[in-house]
Structure 1
Amino acid sequence: MHETTTTPNNRKSGRAHWRTVALGLAFLLSAFVQRVGAQSNSESDLKAMFLYNFIKYVEWPASTGPTFRIGVVGNTPVLESVRKVAEQKRVNGKAIEVVPVVPGQWPDVQLLFIAGTAPIDDAVNHFNAKPVLIVTEVNKRIPKGAMINLLNRDNKIRFELNLTEAKESNLRISSQLVNLAENVIQ
């Protein structure tokens, strides 16, 4: 007969494991519970919640600004959905400011969402090595320069990560977010 001994360290690591599982489930529930329907509003609302949740799992270098700024490139209903989220949520005690972005006129932002077929090359060149989380929504491979790409798979929103691009921009992505990604580029 084998006897198992429970030590404080075993209990702590067990708790840490379950805390990670619980955080992952909370993220999944807040982001994946809704199926993407025919209404673009529900899809754009879901994408807005993904963007907000990504912020919680990414660490930026120290910032001195009074707000957390999200830029949205492209003509997309996601802009209004992100604005609705920004009215209700905060990031580390800071208000969220959402700005529409015209390619070539790049404001200071911490997160840049590039919608659909909007060009990303100019954004990547402008924000190269700056601490800006670039999120795209291309249903192919994650574009060069993007750190996160939203995908619509089987009527569900999924995402993939490019950790190399994030590191080059001095952003740290939580292992909890990495574990939830459909695809991870190291």
Structure 2
Amino acid sequence: MYRRILIITVLLILSVRMFSQEENYISLYMFNFTRYVEWPVEKRSGNFVIEVLGHVSVYEKLKEMVSGKKVGNQPIEVRNYMSVNEMGQPHVMFVGHWKSREMPQVIDKLGGESTLIIGEKEGMIDQGAAINFVIREGKIKFEFKEINARDRGLSVSSRLRQMGIVLE
């Protein structure tokens, strides 16, 4: 009995640690993606807004990570929402795994806005995300579909294509 409790405790600790690493990875990469994407001129003033839908821990890590930082001359502002209805027109929209079924509503709400859409569940690229975090060979990686970014008026550096799993 004691051994089972010990095994369960160790597994829980490891899974919490894994999720924490995933959140750090996602937050760091989301911030770094801003270096490889160029937004249209009309999006280059005011705050640079990153919105997170449905993933509070990624929001918290990202907010901490980008505190006091800028994209170009724009101060970064991070917002968190649990409902598509609360969303604005951000530069970057991250749709958390638990809200992935709402991707069609996210796409509708954004309309033709120049927003880099990022998901974290298999199939999000096919639903309109330009970047999607996936697990491959036991590691967190990201898929990239350039046409989804270009369709939103975004220009993407070849460096971003080199770092991700490019999908046509």
Normalising by structure 1, we get a TM-score of 0.74
CA distance in 2, matches of 1:173, 1:49: 18
Secondary structure at 1:56 match in 2: coil
Among 58, 72, 76, the residue aligned to 1:92 = 72
1:132 is matched with 115
Equivalent residue pairs, number: 149
Instruction: Pick the structure with greater CA Rg.
Output: 1
Contact 2:68 2:76 in 1 (8 A): no
CA distance in 2, matches of 1:109, 1:126: 11
Runs of 4+ in 1 over 3 A off after TM superposition: none
Q: How does 1:111-126 map to 2 (within 5 A)?
A: 111-118=92-99, 119-126=102-109
CA distance in 1, matches of 2:21, 2:93: 21
Among 39, 51, 58, the residue aligned to 1:60 = 39
The answer to whether 1:77 aligns with 2:60 is no
Query: Unaligned regions of 5+ residues in structure 1, if any?
Result: 1-36
Higher helix share: 2
Deviation, structure 1 residue 64: 4.6
Deviation, structure 1 residue 140: 4.5
CA RMSD of aligned residues (A): 1.7
- 1:84-110 deviations in Å (ceiling 9; x for gaps): 112153211321100112212221210
Amino acid of the structure 1 residue aligned with 2:94: F
CA distance in 1, matches of 2:58, 2:166: 23
Secondary structure at 2:84 match in 1: coil
Contact 1:128 1:169 in 2 (8 A): no
CA distance in 1, matches of 2:108, 2:151: 13
Amino acid of the structure 2 residue aligned with 1:184: L
2:25 is matched with 46
The answer to whether 1:169 aligns with 2:152 is yes
Secondary structure at 1:117 match in 2: helix
Contact 1:178 1:184 in 2 (8 A): no
% identical equivalent positions:
26
Amino acid of the structure 2 residue aligned with 1:85: M
CA distance in 1, matches of 2:156, 2:115: 12
- 1:50-90 deviations in Å (ceiling 9; x for gaps): 10111110110012532110000004410101101121532
CA distance in 2, matches of 1:159, 1:144: 15
CA distance in 1, matches of 2:151, 2:121: 21
Contact 1:66 1:94 in 2 (8 A): yes
